[in-house]
Amino acid sequence: MIDFLIVGSGLAGISFAEVALRNDKSILVLDNNSQNSSKIAGGLYNPVILKRFSEVWKAQEQLVLMNEFYTVLEEKLKCKVDYKRPIFRKFFSVEEQNNWFSASDKAGLAPFLSTKLIYDKFSGIDSPFGYGEVLQTGYVDTASLLQEYRSYLKQEKLFMEESFDYSILQIEDDHVIYKGIRAKHIVFAEGFGMHLNPYFNYLPLDGTKGELFIIKAPELDLSVIVNTSVFILPLGNDLFKVGATYNWKDKTDLPTEEGKIELVARIQEIITCNFEIVEHFAGVRPTVKDRRPLVGTHQDHDLIHILNGLGTRGVMLGPAMANALFDLIENQIPLDTAININRFLPKGNR
């Protein structure tokens, strides 16, 4: 019998798999490769919501866990996935500069917002009002991370590539059975695919489609991540990842002409040089309306659990939420009420 059967191998699934393995638990991961939001994600980690100049929920706590998590993971996988890079917020007016300085005076934001205006010149970008630097930032190469981690799981015979059939899951008193596999617990980490899950499809997972580009811009000389209405992330060899759009109606992972037009317009607001679209891709982020993850145990089945709803900040949230769910299951440490799925039960059932 294994300790955990994990369904899904995006950022949520591999985060929980790794936390379980570090705690000497046995696992098996199932995935049918139907969800691609983690693979195509921008992968940025940023403790500040730049649109509103507000702090990300429990940002410092998440960053501490995240840094340790990926450092150990890079040693394990023998590959680089975590890249520390400054994020520069381009200012379009004196008013935006003033808003930045007001935000940097707030206790929760002070560790993350530099109070020094930056007037570095980058070829291909005109920025007369300068930039503000966000501290403790960077990005995770999510495509490489997921590929390498799945390869590791396959090598260790801990991975099965197949669709999960909910109708044949057997729930016993102290274990579950799936196709002859006995597990003490099952963790569903399916991203937007949760809508097909009869145990958790009542939860308000409101997927948000995002479209991104890889562009080639030889005249753009950029060594930092620039973030305004979109981010521009240098990849090397004159290539840049640019994104992302937000569409709450379209739930497909197909690139659209509408998304292309929007991204092109936003890029042209930031850079002044020519660029070529090398690749255009899309995915549906697993987002929740209250902007908090979906973590917890099914109200009627204490062996069935969920880790989902990481949204746009999966690389930051994944390790912290995986630790929280593991501690709930193994050590009976209660979840923060802000992430516990019980918040969506009727008040009398919580």
Q: Which pLDDT tens digit goes with each residue over 104-134? A: 999 899 999 999 999 999 999 999 999 999 9
Mean pLDDT calculated for residue range 86-110: 94
d(CA 319, CA 301): 24
What pLDDT is stored for residue 349 in this prediction? Answer: 63
Q: Is 174 helix (H, G, I), strand (E, B) or coil?
A: coil
The residue ranking higher by pLDDT, 35 or 105, is: 105
Same domain, yes or no: 236 and 340: no
- Residue 65 in domain: no
pLDDT class of 39 with cuts at 50, 70, 90: low
Q: Is 95 helix (H, G, I), strand (E, B) or coil?
A: helix
CATH number for the domain harbouring residue 244: 3.30.9.10
Q: Judge whether residue 350 has pLDDT over 70.
A: no
d(CA 49, CA 45): 11
Check: CB of residue 38 under 8 Å from CB of residue 344: no
Mean of pLDDT over the chain: 94
Tens of pLDDT, residues 276-291 = 999 999 988 899 989 9
- The last residue of a domain, from among 285, 303, 324: 285
Return the percentage of the chain with pLDDT > 90, whole number: 86
d(CA 344, CA 296): 11
**Sign of the C-alpha dihedral computed for residues 339, 47, 63 and 26 taken in this order:** positive
- The last residue of a domain, from among 256, 285, 314: 285
* Residue 330: domain span: 2-43+143-205+289-349
Q: Is 340 helix (H, G, I), strand (E, B) or coil?
A: strand
d(CA 13, CA 190): 8
